Amino acid sequence: MSRYVFILFTLLLAGCGSSSDMIQVTGTVKNADGSPLPFESGSIVFTGTDGKNHASGSVQSDGSFTMVTKKPGDGVKPGHYKVTLGLWKNYHDLIPAVPKRYMEPTTTPLEATVDADHKHFDFTVEK
């Protein structure tokens, strides 16, 4: 009997892997006046300042987003992130809908610290 309990315990531990520390992250991206940004195609990327973690999401036409690390619904690892935006007025011609500083982790002014108390972020784009 104790052998079966040990096997069950081991399987439960294996099933509780890294996904248990993931946090569901949502938010919005809007203009400084609160209006939605006009764009044809949009994405948002969280790049860990530790260089290890990242997550991404599609930005909807109303500015809302939900972050994904590997698969829909898995969330984001806790940590500090630089936030970049890939919002395009015209994706085919690569005409950005936001200033270029928002498109690179080294120049973006947007940051997020994800933890149990911080899982919704409202980002403002200044022209």
Q: Which residues of 23-42 are buried (b: 16+ CB within 10 A; e: fewer)?
A: bebebbbbeeeeeebebeeb
- Quickly name the fold that domain 19-125 has: Immunoglobulin-like (2.60.40)
Question: pLDDT in tens for each of the 127 residues of the chain?
Answer: 433 333 333 333 334 445 569 999 999 999 999 999 999 999 999 999 998 899 999 999 999 999 999 999 999 999 999 999 999 999 899 999 999 999 999 999 999 999 999 999 999 999 8
Distance CA 79, CA 59 (A): 21
**Is the separation of the CB atoms in 47 and 56 below 8 Å?**
no
pLDDT score at 61: 95
pLDDT score at 112: 98
pLDDT score at 19: 56
Indicate the SS3 state at residue 24.
coil
> Would you give the distance in Å from CA 63 to the centre of its chain?
13
